Amino acid sequence: MTDETKEELAKEIKLLKKRIAELMKCEFELKELDDKIIRRSVELARINVDLKDEIKKRMKAEELLKESERKIRALYDQTFQFIGLMTPDGTLIEANRTALEFSGIELADVINKPFWQTPWWTHSPELQEKLQQAVKKVARGEFLRFEATHLDKEGVLHYVDFSLKPVKDESGKVVFMIPEGRDITESKKTEGKN
How far apart, in Å, do the first and last CA atoms of the chain sit?
Answer: 141
User: Which residue stretches of the chain have pLDDT < 50?
Assistant: none
169 touches 91 (CB < 8 A) = no
Q: What is the model's pLDDT at position 76? A: 63
Tell me the pLDDT tens digit for each residue of 85-97.
Answer: 999 999 999 999 9
What CA–CA distance (Å, rounded) separates 52 from 67?
Answer: 22
Tell me the pLDDT tens digit for each residue of 40-79.
Answer: 888 988 988 889 999 999 999 899 888 877 777 766 667 7
Q: Are strands 174-183 and 82-86 parallel, antiparallel or unpaired?
A: antiparallel
What CA–CA distance (Å, rounded) separates 183 from 159?
Answer: 6
Q: What is the model's pLDDT at position 69? A: 79
Cβ within 8 Å of residue 84, ≥6 positions away: 92, 93, 94, 95, 96, 99, 115, 178, 179, 180
Q: What is the model's pLDDT at position 194? A: 55
Q: What is the model's pLDDT at position 126? A: 97
What CA–CA distance (Å, rounded) separates 177 from 89?
Answer: 9
Q: What is the model's pLDDT at position 145? A: 96
Strand pairing partners for 69? none
